[in-house]
Amino acid sequence: MNRYTLASIWLVITVILDQITKIWMSNVMDVWTGKQVIPGFFNLVHVLNKGAAWGFLDNENIDWQRPLFIIITFVALGFIAYMLKSTDEADTWMITGLALIAGGAIGNLIDRVRLGVVIDFLDFYIGDYHWPAFNVADCALTIGAGCIILSMLLNRKSKVNKNA
């Protein structure tokens, strides 16, 4: 399978899962409400994030976040396309990571363009310590970054072994 086919599969799966889960959340729970799933650990919540990761710049008093994050997303997607083109066909970890990051970025971009905010709904916590709510797109971004790091470590180890 070539790099573009593999990347397209991961990207499409990511965007579809992200959008289906956000639509589902919007249909089953009112905004700013939540439901305890695993006491002391996990809730489903329906929150709207005008900012970026972990609520960065999530402020009603500023209006430039939306165009800024849309522009940043397109720049990032261009960089990802460049990286994908220059990635070795055999480096499936890098290809998968780039595709997951692109899929996550597109999933959140769809929300920003359509709604002006991103829907978040996964709320993990221990006691009073909550991780900021997130979504499937955010999971894909994180897993994608992990895949890229793994690729870099494996390729580094491979180069060291070749030079030895």
* 40-75 pLDDT, tens digit each: 999 999 999 987 665 665 556 667 788 889 999 999
- 138 labelled catalytic: yes
Give the H or E element holding residue 125: strand 118-126
Asked whether 123 and 133 are in contact (CB, 8 A), the reply is: yes
Please pick, among 18, 58, 111, 138, the residue that the annotation labels catalytic. 138
Instruction: Describe the strand order of the beta sheet including 129-130 as a list of residue ranges.
Output: 34-38, 42-49, 118-126, 129-130
Give the H or E element holding residue 45: strand 42-49
What residue numbers bound the domain in which 72 lies? Answer: 3-163
- 120 labelled catalytic: yes
Closest CA to 102 of 10, 16, 31: 10
Please pick, among 58, 120, 123, 128, the residue that the annotation labels catalytic. 120
CB under 8 A, 24+ apart: contacts of 66-70: 66/112, 66/116, 69/112, 70/109, 70/112, 70/113
Count of structural domains, the chain: 1
Q: Is the dihedral of CA 19, 145, 101, 33 positive or negative?
A: positive
Say what the pTM is. 0.90
The reported pLDDT for the residue numbered 126 is 94
Residues of the chain with pLDDT under 70: 52-62, 157-164
Question: Measured at the alpha carbon of residue 121, what is the angle toward residues 102 and 128, in degrees to the nearest 5?
Answer: 120
